[in-house]
Amino acid sequence: MRIVITGGCGFLGRRVAMKLLAEGSALGPVDELVLFDNALPALPLPEDKRVRVVTGDIADRATVAQLIAPGTDAVFHLAAIVSGQAEADPDLGYRVNLDGTRAVLDACRALGSQPRLIFASSLAVYGGALPPEVGEETALMPQSSYGTQKAIGELLVNDYSRKGFVDGRALRLPTVVVRPGLPNRAASTFASSMIREPLTGRDAVCPVTPETVMALASPRRIVAGLVHALGLPGEAFGATRVMQLPGFSVSVGDMAAAMRRAGGEAAHARLRWQPDAQIQAIVGSWPRALAAPRAEALGFGRDRDIDEVVQAFIEDDMALQKTLVA
């Protein structure tokens, strides 16, 4: 089968690609894996003749139509401008996160074969006065341009699936921790930096209070969930193709404590608390706890706790992270 991953050279896209190459797909063996991004990969990719890297503009319809060519069986649409950047530059955010999503959906529709489409959405679609646990029944009230763009994308995936243009599934991802690499302009970037940097010998700043509570998931869980969604039949999703993935709740203070348990006092001393009102407001508008019974019933798992997440980073990414910052 032929699979296209937009944002394929990014953090999640690269991991999804590596998992598919190593384990295959529930729909059959992977014959061709096309990784599309706006730049060449910063992290190494496996040497595999099935992999093809393409660079270009996700909002350029001609480029995307050539990318999602006849014979494409599935598309993971992971390309996006992150939250802080989309807020600072709304025109760029709407171009990439909305126009790019429309280009992907219409290229899939033009195939006439109803390819499977996995769209990465976000907890940023929620906002306002939230209940103690947030789930698919919670009204959407995004408090950022990024959240608005993701909410529109969800509605489009649902409508294109209803009309039979694609076999879509839009997954609301919890904040993913710990991401390897360098800090980006996402409002949530500190959640990885405050663990990643101290454990690899670098200083980090946390811009929110220790009492701030977040809903998280590890890269292992998110990548497993994205690939798992590909193998599920469309009818398993029922009336809506939008699904909240499971996550676990943890305070930022407990995140710092887990980093301390893993790295000791020397690592903990590298973390500084420096409040930022704007970031605190954005993060404070996000859900503190998630309800995902439908996803759990369909086999999507959750991490046990923050210590398991930190240990996964140490096992999977710490050696690579040290080479990136050396």
**pLDDT tens, residue by residue, 219-246:** 999 999 999 999 999 999 999 999 999 9
* pLDDT at position 209 over 80: yes
Catalytic one of 94, 126, 146, 160: 146
The confidence score (pLDDT) of residue 22 equals 93
Q: Is 309 exposed, middle or buried (0-12, 13-18, 19+ CB in 10 A)?
A: buried
The confidence score (pLDDT) of residue 45 equals 87
Task: Say what the alpha-carbon torsion angle 74, 80, 82, 88 is, to the nearest 10 degrees.
Answer: -160
pLDDT tier for residue 156 given thresholds of 50, 70 and 90: very high
Range in 35-39, 76-80, 277-281 the model is least confident about: 277-281
The confidence score (pLDDT) of residue 320 equals 85
Q: Where are the domains of the chain?
A: 2-176+216-244, 189-215+248-288+304-325
The topology under which CATH files domain 189-215+248-288+304-325 is UDP-galactose 4-epimerase; domain 1 (3.90.25)
Question: How far apart, in whole angstroms, are the C-alpha atoms of residue 127 and residue 236?
Answer: 28
* pLDDT at position 82 over 90: no
The confidence score (pLDDT) of residue 285 equals 82
pLDDT tier for residue 188 given thresholds of 50, 70 and 90: confident
Backbone dihedral region for residue 166 (phi beyond 0: left; psi -120 to 50: alpha; all else: beta) = beta
The confidence score (pLDDT) of residue 228 equals 97
Question: How far apart, in whole angstroms, are the C-alpha atoms of residue 87 and residue 79?
Answer: 16
Task: Please give the class, per CATH, of domain 2-176+216-244.
Answer: alpha beta
146 classed as catalytic: yes
pLDDT per residue as tens digits for the range 42-69 = 888 888 999 999 999 999 999 999 999 9
In sequence order, what are the residues at sequence separation of 6 or more whose Cβ sits closer than 8 angstroms to the Cβ of residue 142? 124, 125, 126, 127, 148, 150, 151
pTM of the complete model: 0.94
Question: How far apart, in whole angstroms, are the C-alpha atoms of residue 295 and residue 262?
Answer: 31
The mean pLDDT value of the chain amounts to: 94
Per cent of the chain over pLDDT 70 is 100
